[in-house]
Chains A and B, each alone.
Chain A
Amino acid sequence: MRVRKTALVAALSSLALLTGCGAADMTKQASPFANAQGAKTVTLSVQSWVGAQANVAVAQYILEHELGYRVDTVQVDEVPAWDALSQGRVDALLEDWGHPEQEQRYVKDKKTITAGGELGVTGHIGWFVPTYLAKQHPDITNWKNLNKYSHLFRTPESGDKGQLMDGSPSYVTNDKALVKNLKLDYQVVFAGSEAAQITQMRQFAKEKKPFLTYWYTPQWLFKKVPMTEVKLPPYKEGCDADPEKVACAYPHTPLQKYLNSGFAKNGGKAAAFLKKFKWTTEDQNEVSLMIADKKMAPEDAAKKWVDSHRSTWKKWLS
């Protein structure tokens, strides 16, 4: 018995030694793949949509080629990304679409996350129909007429109602409440991921079929499948406060950047650069289109943009 106890003590103390004695701070654990060959590293979180990939690709390219950092990227959904940011598993989140609850918890209360300023791009969510359909039926772009056309949008999945296609479960959506509160004869069908939604939209567009979808700008797909927004009752401050009673359009959101507080303070040139990073919707779309449509590697797309927009990004480094 005695032998076993000493073995246990030895094992426990070696565990403590190995991990640094005493309390272990989970907020101080970077990814094991970071700093692999002794280089300075920045870890960026990428969200699943291509716009976010474009931000990260350009930031990564400049960090690597102009500032000499090594960059790791991790793909995480938005809410878990906030969590990762507060723990220091990732250093920065470059495109946030507004998460007041997380902001209150981490930026205001815990102060583990610091606001990094605006990205320069304004995001907007809405309902869209393909432009070829809007040309055929010009009045389809007002929500009041949607019921008249619901038969056009029927699919096997929506049964005898029209199909309103929603995307990834990680996106902000009030669509179920909207359909109910605006008394629309529609069924919300969740594509489950943006990839599935885009694939389906392109198939519909190829055959010029009618479809109604939850979608957002800025988005590269508009260049391939031109779409027109359907007017919903106008957005007023606070009209979306109660998720059950929403009956208005989505707001226009200036997209924000957030940094881990420790990184914001001690991140040196990388943190200073990421705080200054600010570009336009056109810039972002240019890179997104190269990645998603021309299937260029994000790195090549970023290089192409960086080479032709020297004056834009030089300002971020000063």
Chain B
Amino acid sequence: MATITASPPRIGLPALLKSRAFQKLLLLAVAAAILVPLANARWASGTWPSALTVDFSEPLAKASDWIIDNRDSHPLFLYFFGHVSNVVVIAVRAVYLTLLAIGWAGVTALGALVAWRVAGVRLALGTAVAFLACGLLGMWVPTMQTLALMVVAVVASVVVGMLLGLAAGLSDRMDRVLRPVLDTMQVLPAFAYLLPVVLVFGIGVPAAVLATVIYAAPPMARLTSLGLRGADKEVLEAVESLGSTARQRLLTARLPLARKELLLGVNQTIMMALSMAVIAAVIGAGGLGDRVYQALASVDVGAALAAGIPIVLLAVVLDRVTGAAGEKLGAEPEPRSGLGWLLALIGVVAVAVAGRFAGRLDWPEAWIVGIAEPVNRAVDWMTAHLYSGVPVIGGTADWAGHFTTWVLDPVRDGLQWLPWWSVLLIVAALAWVIGTWRTALTAVLAMAAIGVLGVWQPSLDTLSQVLAAVAVTLVVGFATGIAAARSDRLERLLRPVLDVFQTMPQFVYLIPVVALFGVGRAPAVAAAIVYALPAVVRITTQGLRQVDPAALEASGSLGATSWQQLKQVQLPLARPALLLAVNQGLVLVLAVVVIGGLVGGGALGYDVVFGLAQGDLATGLVAGAAIVCLGLMLDRVTQPTERRAKKGA
């Protein structure tokens, strides 16, 4: 009975889709039948024809030489980049010195009291504990360095993002121009633009801040624009009827109405900026990221973890506090909130002054708890017992070996064996079936660009790793997500675990991953899975929970078992969420491709790291561009049109 009730959508929907998809595929097949023989005769099949590549290495090497030779004398640098760089250095220094002058007690009090005012007592306690933990781990000074960098980077990102968002929100033309720019800024792996930024600004804080702004400004811009466009028409008309000018309307009505989106933008920007903290260390930004990176050099997981935990704590605290502030916005303003702020301010000043008089500005060394040793012992034990020789199931090294030989190799060899035009055809077919001819065209052009850049083979190698990682991520992620959607207890238990997975710098778990899976593509895939899993789990859980309870009840009353309910009601209804999870899984896995290069993943990730390490603009930038193209292609291939339409609204 239950099967019958639920089956119509299962047959009906795909059947409808199939017919439309079938038409598209037919058209594509006709086009292919004409074009493929032509292309084949002209350039032969197999790998991407060398006649269709452009070599960028010479102009790029020249550009890099020009920058280095003119950096100290050209007016562009003396009067523009030099000042930008100076402002950043001075600003970061000012914040850093202020934090040091307030002392550890003052900073902890400041954090706790701000959290108390905007988010309540519980988060205030959490904030204080988080700051104290940073000190206990012996990371007070690096935490302050990272905090100073983050404050400046976030303020800059918010300002830049708001300006871009204002432009996009007020003018449709600017919106059209900016959208692809913002897309690129987000898809571009940070490693790809570290090198040009470093060439211009040199190693250090200014380059790190600039790189962070590029990465963290887009969500602010998008949400600002969304907020401005979403403002209630009736309110705006009312304001207009009062005879106000355009600027007055913006300042008194549109911006205040959009403040929820603005705050969400700030929240997103903070999270993105923090995730750059470690990557920025690669170009000498200092702070916690640098500690993680240095610990990696001496293969010291414990020390890396001691520096990684403060990053996680900062991220979680900032996320919760800004999130709570956003929720509070809609509520009635508390009476006498000014008095509360005043009390908080007096409290901070009192603590800071007390600290100063006690001569206790630096975190006392006696209060440092060493966690490095036990952590290293645990990691050693784990790898010694799991690496190989585990009875029946085999050690992790065996798994990694099988995964490489049975999954990664065939997929890579298969992709590289395919004639180049057939790869383009597959991309076109996938993108067109799920989207429009526009998305299909973008996807095909992105794929073709990879060939033109001359990195066809390594890109397909990278693609094979991404596909394998995404497949595993989706299997594990959907299963966990479904389980979490059916049990509140499990979801609560999972939440902190997912938080840690998502915010822990990848450098921290690189060594354990290598120790378990050996050097090669398998550990790279494992690292990517760890990073992408939380988002997939979260989206799946949320999607399943939002399924209309009425539909569930209806099927339940018809006697469907819980497995039937899941398969025939929940999953089909949650389809958009599941597709989004696939899309996010792909994008996130691709984002860690570069990190995979650090553990033997090879291909594009290695090239990007190589370019940065050797100052080789051509290798690094071309590989980075190829990653962008891959990202663009994968996004278009997995992004259903409805979501794109909604995004623009």
Name which residue of chain A comes closest to B209, CB basis. A32
B288 within 8 A of A: no
Interface centre among B71, B89, B298 (most CB of A within 10 A): B298
Which chain A residue shows the least CB distance to B284? A74
Query: Nearest residue in A to B524 (C-beta to C-beta)?
Result: A192
Known: A15-B87, A157-B519. 7 other contacts (CB 8 A): A36-B97, A78-B613, A165-B519, A192-B519, A196-B511, A196-B599, A206-B387
Near A by CB (< 8 A), chain B positions 376-427 give: 376, 383-384, 387-388, 397, 400-402, 404-405, 409
Residues of chain A lying within 8 A (CB to CB) of residue B79: 23-24
Q: Which 8 A-B pairs have the closest CB atoms?
A: A24-B82, A170-B613, A32-B93, A19-B86, A169-B610, A84-B203, A156-B404, A157-B520
Which chain A residues border B145 with CB–CB below 8 Å? Answer: 33
A-B contact pairs, 13 of them (CB 8 A): A26-B71, A26-B85, A32-B96, A33-B205, A72-B286, A75-B293, A105-B68, A155-B401, A157-B519, A190-B602, A192-B606, A200-B518, A295-B376
Are A36 and B85 within 8 A (Cβ)? no
Query: Could you say which residues of chain B place their CB within 8 Å of the CB of A24?
Result: 78-79, 82-83, 85-86
> Known: A26-B77, A75-B294. Contact between A203 and B387, CB under 8 A?
yes
- Closest residue of chain B to A79 (Cβ to Cβ) is B615
Q: Does A142 contact B (CB under 8 A)?
A: no
**How many A-B pairs with Cβ below 8 Å?**
217
A157 touching B404 by the CB < 8 A rule? yes
For A198, the chain B residues whose CB sits under 8 A away are 299
Quick one: closest B residue to A25, CB to CB? B82
Q: Per a CB cutoff under 8 Å, which of A50, A190, A291 touches B606?
A: A190
Whether, in the assembled complex, A181 has its beta carbon less than 8 Å from a beta carbon of chain B, the answer is: no
A220-232 interface bits toward B, Cβ cutoff 8 Å, 1 = contact, 0 = none: 0000000000000
Please pick, from A25, A50, A169, A200, the residue contacting B78 in the complex, using a CB distance under 8 A: A25
A191 close to B284 (CB less than 8 A): no
Q: Which residues of A sit under 8 angstroms from B100, Cβ to Cβ?
A: 36-37
Count contacts on B: residues with CB < 8 A to the other chain: 81
User: What are the residues of chain A within 8 A of B299 when measuring CB–CB?
Assistant: 195, 198-199, 292
Select which of A76, A156, A189, A203 is within 8 A of B284 by beta carbon.
Answer: A76
**Contact present for A159 and B610 (CB under 8 Å):** no
**Is B397 in contact with A203, judged by CB distance below 8 angstroms?**
yes
Q: Which residues of B contact A33 (CB under 8 A)?
A: 93, 96, 145, 205, 286
Whether, in the assembled complex, B597 has its beta carbon less than 8 Å from a beta carbon of chain A, the answer is yes
Interface string of B187-208 (1 = CB under 8 A from A): 0000000000010011111100
Contact indicator A32/B92 (Cβ below 8 Å): yes
| B534 interface residue per 8 A CB criterion | no
| List of A residues within 8 angstroms of B87 by Cβ | 15, 18-19
- Complex CA distance for A15 and B598, rounded to whole angstroms: 40
Q: Does residue A48 face the partner (Cβ distance < 8 Å to B)?
A: yes
Beta-carbon contact of B81 and A26 below 8 Å? yes
Looking at the complex, which one of B284, B523, B600 makes contact with A80 (CB distance below 8 Å)?
B284
Interface flag for B454 (CB, 8 Å): no
Whether A29 pairs with B85 at a CB distance below 8 angstroms is yes
Task: Evaluate contact between B383 and A19: CB separation under 8 angstroms.
Answer: no
Contacts of B96 in A (CB 8 A): 32-33, 36
Identify the A interface with B (CB < 8 A). 15-16, 18-20, 23-27, 29, 31-33, 36-37, 45-46, 48-50, 53, 72-81, 83-84, 87, 89-90, 105, 155-157, 159, 165, 168-170, 189-200, 203, 206-207, 291-292, 295
- Does B613 lie within 8 Å of A77, measured CB to CB? yes
A residues near B397, Cβ cutoff 8 Å: 203
Contacts of A78 in B (CB 8 A): 613
Q: Once the chains bind, are B201 and A26 in contact (CB under 8 Å)?
A: yes
Residue among A79, A81, A203 with max Cβ neighbours from chain B (10 Å)? A203
Nearest chain B residue, comparing its CB with the CB of A105: B68
User: Which of B85, B203, B596 is within 8 Å of A81, CB to CB?
Assistant: B203
In angstroms, Cα B519 to Cα A199, docked, is 8
A27 close to B599 (CB less than 8 A): no
Residues in A neighbouring B81, C-beta threshold 8 A: 26
B366 is an interface residue with CB less than 8 A from chain A = no
* Beta-carbon contact of B90 and A169 below 8 Å: no
With A156-B401, A203-B387, A203-B397 known as contacts, the answer to whether A87 contacts B294 (CB < 8 A) is no
A19 touching B97, Cβ below 8 Å: no
A76 surroundings in chain B (CB, below 8 A): 203, 283-284
Whether A155 and B284, one on each chain, are in contact in the complex, defined by CB atoms closer than 8 angstroms, is no
Which of A15, A76, A156, A292 counts the most B-chain CB atoms under 10 A from its CB? A156
A82 → B minimal CB distance (Å)? 8
Residue B636, interface by CB 8 Å: no
Closest-CB distance, B211 to chain A (whole angstroms): 14
Tell yes or no: B450 within 8 A of A by CB. no
Whole-angstrom distance between the Cβ of B368 and the nearest chain A Cβ = 11
Contact with A along B173-185 (1 / 0, CB 8 A): 0000000000000
Task: Contact check, A75 vs B298: say whether CB atoms are below 8 A apart.
Answer: no
Q: Are B600 and A196 closer than 8 Å at their CB atoms?
A: yes
A194 to B613 CA separation, bound complex (whole angstroms): 13
Give B78's nearest chain A residue, CB to CB: A23
Q: Are B298 and A191 in contact (CB under 8 A)?
A: no
Q: When the two chains form their complex, are residues B599 and A156 in contact, meaning their CB atoms are under 8 A apart?
A: no
Interface residues of B in 205-235 (CB under 8 A from A): 205-206
In residues 503-545 of chain B, which contact A (Cβ within 8 Å)? 510-511, 514-515, 518-523
How far, in Å, is A8 (CB) from chain B's closest CB?
Answer: 14
The answer on a CB contact under 8 Å between A199 and B515 is: yes
CB closest residue in chain A, given B287: A33
Within the assembled complex, what's the spacing in Å between the Cα atoms of A170 and B139?
28
B614-629 vs A: 1/0 string, CB under 8 Å?
Answer: 1100000000000000
Interface contact A75-B388, CB-CB below 8 Å: no
Chain A residues closer than 8 Å to B609, beta-carbon distance: 169, 192
Residue of A nearest to B291 (CB): A75
Q: Which of A25, A168, A199 contacts B514 (CB 8 A)?
A: A199
Let me know if B281 is at the binding interface, CB within 8 A. yes
Contact between B83 and A191, CB atoms less than 8 A apart: no
Residue pair B373, A295 in contact (C-beta under 8 Å): yes
Question: Which residue in B384, B514, B600 is a CB contact (below 8 Å) of A190?
Answer: B600
Please determine whether B286 and A31 come into contact, CB atoms closer than 8 angstroms: yes
Q: A200-B518, A292-B299 are in contact. Are A191 and B293 (CB under 8 A)?
A: no
List the B residue with the shortest CB-CB distance to A47.
Answer: B297
